[in-house]
Chain A
Amino acid sequence: MAQVPVTEGVFTWPSESPQLIGSRCVTCGNHMFPVQQGCPKCTGAETEEVLLGRRGTLWTWTVQGFPPKAPPYAGDVDPKTFKAFGVGYVELPGQLKIESRLTEADPEKLKIGMEMEMVIVPLSTDANGNEVVTFAFAPVA
């Protein structure tokens, strides 16, 4: 089964070590994600594309305990098979905090400050039978 990204331009794919694609302000160095033109920090209008770090620390988190509404959600929404998933903000040093799915959903195993690493995870299957993938962060073993 072929793997396709949930969208183009948000993370590098296919790749051995995928990275999120963000922007950096040419004027003040502020980082943004996803790519955007215009800097909310200094109001500068010029930004350049930048690949973001793959590792960081968990700044905060929650667990999505019920199936999100579909659309917009593309994953499993069947209450019988739905599996809760973690969501958090991961602080990438010197860059910014990224909101992301987490591969861990057990509150006992999620701790603010823990080391996290970016991974690619399956989300759904599209009409052509391809596996749709998105990004997530996983605890560093």
Chain B
Amino acid sequence: MADVIFSDVQKRFGSFVAVQNLNLDIRQGEFVSLLGPSGCGKTTTLRMLAGLEFPTSGEIRIGERVVNDVAPGDRDIAMVFQSYALYPHMSVGQNIAYPLKKRRVPKAERARMVARTAEMLQLTALLDRKPKQLSGGQQQRVALGRALVRDPKVFLLDEPLSNLDAKLRGYMRAELVELHQRLGRTMVYVTHDQLEAMTMSDRIAIMEGGALQQFAPPQEVYRAPANRFVAGFIGTPGMNLIDGALARDGNTWRFEAPALQLEARGLGPDARPGEACLGIRPEALTLGSGALRGVVQLVEQTGHENIVVLRVGEDLRLTGRAPGHTIWKPGETIPFAIDADAAHYFAAGPAGARLNARRSGPHESGDAISITNNMREAHQ
């Protein structure tokens, strides 16, 4: 059952289009991330859902109800702000109780609910403090508590972890996932951190320049990026993107770039001869053996593995991963191979659409665990 629906939602500030033709439909109980670079319209989307910003056109539904004209307080949502937005003059307890107070919950019941929420978030000892007397992580928990104390239909979270240090962020990420499982509520989570989005979400909505690029589960976003933008945005280190051209030779296709030729497999019906872009994940590069040759430019050691940047031909740079025990030095020429079955093809242009055929081959139905593991290692 759909819980939150955006139909053709557009938001303009003057002549500037912050969100264009957004269509999203979020299922009940789903954890959805809005992911994208800074300024892509994530917060604007969330604020429209909260009722703090009016869409210029289009319709937003929560449950069965069109909420375009419903005040924020009547939408049955709770929101955690990127800035936490704790009321500075109120104690922690008063902050958490505020939404209940505004909904006329009787005092005794209010106290009981605040106590329960505080216990869940380990805030009981801090209830009498003012927000400024708390650490960042504690403030974050209070902001969460203010949202959790009620039982709203949808939770909206705007980069709630971005102010925390790496360790606390990892911890809170796990807490949030567990909370989501326990409550079973729909959550819309804004982040610009792809690791957060990959590890926590059921589905990720990737945005760029106010437009939705892809809305799919994490593994699909990783295995079958819908366009060149998504391909380059998801994954650390990023996918190698090589501009070149597709050429057809009877039933077989070839991809040709100045420094690289490759038999192009698995192309879909949209493929046309002409300019195109080849995408290869670093792990689809086999280093140390193969018919191709490259000069090592840079080796980044992460301990467990080495990130190797190769120069191929005049000015093509390829990034690959190799086990941590490899000992290549910059300047060395090494052999390598490209797994042609794992190649992605995109139409020319910065947001060129994916040209691969839809299929679930060995490289498109991997497990999410290994993807996020790969990403986590690269992240640290």
Binding between chains A and B = no
By a beta-carbon cutoff of 8 Å, the part of chain B in contact with chain A is: none
By a beta-carbon cutoff of 8 Å, the part of chain A in contact with chain B is: none
